[in-house]
């Protein structure tokens, strides 16, 4: 298909060729997306050691052990060793979100004032 030599009579042939190219590109794209989706699913259920979890979360070992005991990090104990699956850790992190939408400054100010205790005014006694 050359741009310089196109005529009106060649238009149906060129449009047909373009349609074939577009459909082949769509097929290729769907194949790649399907492969990528399968690869992501396979790699998420990977067991991690305590050191790897601490590095992944950016916390110390003592913080990890505290969170495992009190915070509910989903751990698996095999003898003396602890393991955490990456996908379960990500779900645990997602479930720890406090609010889906950030609050406004006025709402935050009202919450702070509601929790502040004030001294009793001695004149009103």
The SS3 assignment for 84 reads strand
From CA 79, how far away is CA 84, in angstroms rounded? 14
Predicted TM-score (pTM) of the model is 0.45
Each residue's pLDDT tens digit, 52-86? 989 988 989 998 888 888 877 888 888 888 888 88
Domain extent listing, the chain: 9-43, 47-95
Is residue 56 within 8 Å of 92, Cβ to Cβ?
A: no
How high is the pLDDT of residue 25?
95
């Amino acid at each position: 298909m050359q741009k310089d030599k196109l005529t009106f009579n060649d238009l149906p042939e060129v449009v047909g060729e373009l349609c074939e190219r577009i459909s082949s590109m769509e097929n290729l794209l769907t194949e790649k997306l399907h492969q990528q989706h399968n690869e992501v699913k396979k790699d998420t259920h990977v067991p991690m050691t305590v050191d790897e979890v601490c590095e992944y979360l950016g916390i110390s070992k003592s913080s990890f052990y505290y969170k495992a005991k009190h915070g509910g990090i989903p751990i698996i104990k095999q003898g003396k060793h602890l393991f955490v699956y990456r996908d379960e850790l990500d779900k645990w992190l997602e479930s720890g979100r406090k609010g889906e939408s950030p609050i406004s400054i006025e709402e935050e100010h009202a919450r702070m004032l509601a929790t502040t205790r004030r001294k009793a005014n001695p004149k009103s006694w």
